[in-house]
């Protein structure tokens, strides 16, 4: 069982920036990791993803050019740098992982093995 612990998030005005972190227990090489978000009354949606130790990322179109996903492989930490935030980015953000060494992005929610506890992001206009 992979354990994921999130930190970061908060409230910011539109145009501002926030960073989310997700620390994981050990994952196999090429395991898919990512961020999902869920706004009130909406379904959980894929935001961005990366695979452990593998170059390459994936983003949903609505965050391309504004969000950056990265990883510190030595520390097993995944980051989501969010800039130029918009009110529509307001949601609970969850990190997710599939503990299988097969890189495939985007990661479907039904294939996620472990979820973080969630981090609230609120963007005011």
Mean of pLDDT over the chain = 96
Q: What is the pLDDT of residues 26-50, one digit of tens each?
A: 999 999 999 999 999 999 999 999 9
Question: Which bin fits 41, alpha (ψ -120 to 50), beta or left (φ > 0)?
Answer: left
B/e letters for 4-25, b = 16+ CB within 10 Å, e = fewer, are bebebbeebeeeeebebbbbbe
pLDDT band at 1 (very low <50, low <70, confident <90, very high): confident
Tell me the β-bridge partners of 12.
Answer: 123
Span 66-94, mean pLDDT? 97
pLDDT band at 109 (very low <50, low <70, confident <90, very high): very high
pLDDT band at 22 (very low <50, low <70, confident <90, very high): very high
Separation of alpha carbons 21 and 32, rounded Å:
16
Span 6-15, mean pLDDT? 98
pLDDT band at 82 (very low <50, low <70, confident <90, very high): very high
């Amino acid at each position: 069982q992979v354990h994921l612990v999130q930190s970061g998030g908060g409230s910011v005005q539109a145009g501002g920036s926030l960073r989310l972190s997700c620390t994981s227990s050990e994952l196999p090489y090429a395991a898919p990791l990512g961020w999902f978000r869920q706004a009130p009354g909406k379904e959980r949606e894929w935001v961005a993803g990366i695979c452990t130790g593998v170059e390459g990322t994936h983003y949903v179109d609505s965050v391309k050019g504004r969000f950056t996903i990265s990883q510190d492989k030595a520390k097993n930490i995944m980051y989501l740098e969010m800039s130029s935030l918009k009110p529509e980015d307001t949601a609970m953000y969850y990190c997710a992982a599939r503990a299988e060494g097969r890189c495939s992005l985007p990661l479907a929610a039904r294939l996620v093995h472990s979820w973080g506890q969630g981090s609230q992001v609120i963007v005011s206009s």
